[in-house]
Amino acid sequence: MIANFFNKTKPINFLVLSFLLFLVYTISTIYFFSGEISIAYFIKKGFYLFLAVLMLFIFDFIIRKNTLTNDNSFALYFYILFYSFFPLSFENTDILIANFFLLLAFRKIYSLRTPFNTREKIFDSAFCICIASMFYDWSFLYLILLYASIFLFHKNSRKNTFIPIVGFFTPIFLLYIYLLATDKLYIFGNFWQLEYSLSFGNYLQKSYLYPIIFITIFTIFTIFPTTKKSFFSKQDFKSTWAVLMFQIVLSLIVALISLIKNGSELNFLFIPLSILFANYLQDVEKRWLKEIILYLFIIVYLIIYLI
């Protein structure tokens, strides 16, 4: 039933998924509530919910515009349930906003497969990556993904390889000028501290360990058949799939070196893994197996909250 519903992209799907996101967000907000209820509190939470729905909309646009999956809503379904697995992703403001700007960058990066406005896309993506790094330092590593995309999509002219540097340093220059003009230059030194941690003790807690093990197993189970299939696809999709694999590896590195280890750092993996899982699920021919996989994600979500 649920597999049949999400098997095609329809306007009702997005409404249902938006409600599901609202439900997950509300439950996590109530579950982790601390402090006093006030108008400012509702405004802040309302803004974060709006940002989450907007990200869902942009993600859906990226998928359909670049044909990252077939005509279905599986990727959005997995994307929302990843948030339910790690509800503190809604609470970490800096990582949430950083992912919003990275999503804008990914929109441009994946569209490099087309021959139109290449230089503008490269500049815009580097610009967004820089803004993301102002909220979460290690976001600057996605410049590597941008350069990988330039080469994989065969856009590696001399000018194109120089544009990301210009795009990345443009907001830094503007920020420096603004802080200098407002006599707040001391703030500039607080950016790009690049603190890291390789301590994973928090992941041993059941609320983190179970979903991480589940996602890891499912990733290993899905990555090989989908990648094998990409070898027999057109060159355009091969390059796109290579970018996606590169994004998964890079996102894993960004998450693992994060100073924060409460699940919110795994937010960087939500987008590429959602696309990976959707590509696997859409090729599953047995409907009953699709249903089991989709319901299994909901069961894991319920187990997390029971823990």
pLDDT of residue 12: 87
Residue 306 CB partners (closer than 8 Å, separation 6+): none
> Following DSSP, what letter does each residue of 22-76 receive, concatenated?
HHHHHHHHHHT--S---HHHHHHHHHHHHHHHHHHHHHHHHHHHTTSS-SSSHHH
For residues 218 and 6, which has the higher predicted lDDT (pLDDT)?
218
- DSSP-assigned letter for residue 154: T
pLDDT at 11 over 90: no
Task: Map residue 234 onto helix, strand or coil.
Answer: coil
Instruction: Extract the tokens encoding 299.
Output: 């069961």
pLDDT of residue 87: 84
Kind and range of the H or E run holding 100: helix 93-110
Cα separation of 219 and 213, whole Å?
10
Instruction: Extract the tokens encoding 74.
Output: 């599986």
Q: How confident is the model at residue 307 (pLDDT cuts 50, 70, 90)?
A: low
Percent of the chain at pLDDT > 90 equals 57
pLDDT tens figures, 219-269? 999 999 999 888 888 888 899 999 999 999 999 999 999 988 888 999 999
- If we measure between CA atoms, which residue out of 95, 164, 165 comes closest to residue 134? 95
- If we measure between CA atoms, which residue out of 243, 302, 299, 284 comes closest to residue 6? 284
Sole residue written with tokens 């070196």: 257
Give me the residue spans of the domains in the chain: 2-306
pLDDT tens figures, 98-110? 999 999 999 999 9
Of 27-31, 124-128, 293-297, which has the strongest mean pLDDT?
A: 124-128
